Structure 1
């Protein structure tokens, strides 16, 4: 099936450009324009009352949609925020930051976490332990050993690593290895909406973070977190007035928190991203399009791309330069990652051919999504061939 018509506005605006960076900024489907306009109309119509008359009902519907996709029981255990960094730091602030704090993580977490963790690690009493993800064949053994050998306050790990695309299919083993008092945070930004994700077994054990900028196709400013029902023990220091919105009239000298995921809310934010995300998930429902179907479609595109690399090469690169090939792993997300010291140079060469990819240090990434078909891959390799 061809899904390009769902993205006609984005594709028309892109013109001759070929967009292979859905892992960075996923193109938006047409439906988000009406959704964005609906938010503006609701603001015109309701003014101050928009929060209760329009935003809250829509937010509730979106919570239910996300809960269904993740197979969690209670939509009320989902809260929203403008970005993942805000959610992570709110979780960190649940701890006594004057006391020793130990965080176990990897060397392959996205900058929203890694930069903040590096800054926290400048304090002598805060210890950040990073486990290298490569070689990937031994990664599970090494991170499980780290969990068994030392007590940590928090574990932070990605579902799919941003700098390789490698996917962690053994999250359950990591979760089960952790003591009950350890906070477990899973960054699902490169996984959710791309790889089928079932949290039913661990919904009351982990905090799962994701957002709209990538595979939920709804842009900036709309991220979410699932919260264990046992999380009422946490009182984040980094807190906003939305975290006790229902009891503000009783607010005196004590700081109270909502009894569900709302305890992790901040303050006033732009809710238009909720409208966009809701419209995308509505579209999926109308088309009866599951994440499993999206994943299968993208896998077909990836296989075709790999066959073209095998036939033609790519600026001197072969499939041997792909990290998942080097690591002998069949578990990866919706982008393919070449490891090469020429990553930025090749990205720039591709951009001169109106082919949009991206690079991180020595990693060149090609992303795939519903708005592509095999003819786009053919065009990519034809443009490279024509300039040789």
Structure 2
């Protein structure tokens, strides 16, 4: 292993990063919700006072300063996924970006949208709701995960407007591969592809170039592996496209001081990604994001290192699970290491009860349906991960009695 990916300081107890998360007490708790919400480093606290200074001291001029800061956030997210700053739209949630994406589709001409059964509710709930407006929604079974992209591609028809899929199954943690093949098939039929990459960005070896997704809409955000908290999400908008979202806020046109945002015909910004920016938003999350981006850079937490740490942690969780010889009638590992994305899901009909009892003894995880999910984070040591699985074994044994 090269020095760039030497993970030994992150395996030891205490983890070398733990001292940077004292407010979250990551060295004292077993926080296995890395796939939902990771702890924020202590440095993010400074963002609150800086934001207060901006909004209280500069009055209306704070907007110019905040737009400049947003540009820095665009640059940072673009760097993470190998996009370009002018192709990055920002919003407070994936849902906001998704509905603006949907509003670009010509549903009067093509009424079919294809997705899978395990998409995040931000996407799947909205698509189900659109059925009331006459959209033909095709929901393919997410299992087996190995054939998802192939089955999505086979389901394409001339009346398909879009395909919506994730890079990692948000329920089971399985990777969804071969999206480069899917985008090519979509491109041939002029079908848009929306990719939810939230569970890949800043934790797996994911970027637009290597995954062949420059011509897809690719969304992600800060609450999970970027450790920025809620309120800052992004979407890569494909280049060389003349797209005009119907759901458009006053940020969709510039210069705001010179142009009338609502005059007819509507004027859209020359930078296509800006058309998806929406409207006035709370900029505090951008202040946090800037602090955390700086923290990751100063700590040398690049994507290669973060992936090496994550995949080692996945291996520790699975190995410990198998070594503990769980009763397969009670609980089982749903996917093996070579098919796991960024977190581990265990199948059990007792998921809700197990999650609640684990929380009571200080192991914080979550559950979805018949799955209990363990998501590691780079500030956890091997000892903490092992302790979490041992606690799971004890909890399963108590329920079995």
Same fold (TM over 0.5): yes
Distance 1:384 1:108 in 2: 25
Aligned to 2:224: 214
Aligned positions, number: 377
* Equivalent residues in 2 for 1:192-203, closer than 5 Å: 192-200=201-209, 202=212
Question: Post-superposition shift, 1:205?
Answer: 0.8
Distance 2:68 2:220 in 1: 21
Q: 1:127 to 1:351 in 2, by over 3 A?
A: same
Aligned to 2:89: 79
Question: Post-superposition shift, 1:127?
Answer: 0.8
Distance 1:338 1:130 in 2: 24
Deviation readout 1:151-200 (Å, 9 max, x if unpaired): 42111110111011111221111111113521111101111111122213
Q: 1:317 to 1:11 in 2, by over 3 A?
A: farther
SS in 2 for 1:105: strand
Computed over aligned residues only, the root mean square deviation of the Cα atoms, in angstroms, reads: 2.2
Deviation readout 1:83-129 (Å, 9 max, x if unpaired): 011111111111344554211111110000111100112333x1111
Selected match of 1:185 from 182, 189, 194: 194
Distance 1:227 1:11 in 2: 38
Aligned to 1:10: 24
1:284 to 2:292 alignment: no
Question: Post-superposition shift, 1:347?
Answer: 0.8
Q: 1:136 to 1:385 in 2, by over 3 A?
A: closer
Question: Post-superposition shift, 1:311?
Answer: 2.3
* Equivalent residues in 2 for 1:148-187, closer than 5 Å: 150-180=158-188, 181-187=190-196
Distance 1:16 1:383 in 2: 15
Selected match of 1:235 from 222, 227, 244: 244
Question: Post-superposition shift, 1:59?
Answer: 1.6
Distance 1:385 1:95 in 2: 49
Asked whether the 8 Å contact 2:111–2:159 carries over to 1, the reply is no
Question: Post-superposition shift, 1:291?
Answer: 1.2
Question: Post-superposition shift, 1:384?
Answer: 5.3
Asked whether the 8 Å contact 2:94–2:221 carries over to 1, the reply is yes
Asked whether the 8 Å contact 1:309–1:318 carries over to 2, the reply is no
Where in structure 1 are there 5+ consecutive unaligned residues?
Answer: none
Runs of at least 4 residues off by over 6 Å: none
Aligned to 2:120: 110
Aligned to 1:322: 333
Selected match of 1:44 from 33, 38, 56: 56
Distance 1:374 1:3 in 2: 13
Distance 1:273 1:309 in 2: 37
Q: 1:97 to 1:152 in 2, by over 3 A?
A: closer
Distance 1:337 1:385 in 2: 15
Asked whether the 8 Å contact 2:168–2:175 carries over to 1, the reply is yes
Selected match of 1:67 from 74, 78, 94: 78
1:57 to 2:71 alignment: no
Distance 2:66 2:176 in 1: 35
Asked whether the 8 Å contact 2:173–2:340 carries over to 1, the reply is yes
Distance 1:158 1:211 in 2: 13
Q: 1:357 to 1:386 in 2, by over 3 A?
A: closer
Asked whether the 8 Å contact 2:145–2:175 carries over to 1, the reply is no
Where in structure 2 are there 5+ consecutive unaligned residues?
Answer: 1-8, 10-15
Aligned to 1:254: 265
Q: 1:382 to 1:204 in 2, by over 3 A?
A: closer
Distance 1:320 1:216 in 2: 30
SS in 1 for 2:37: coil
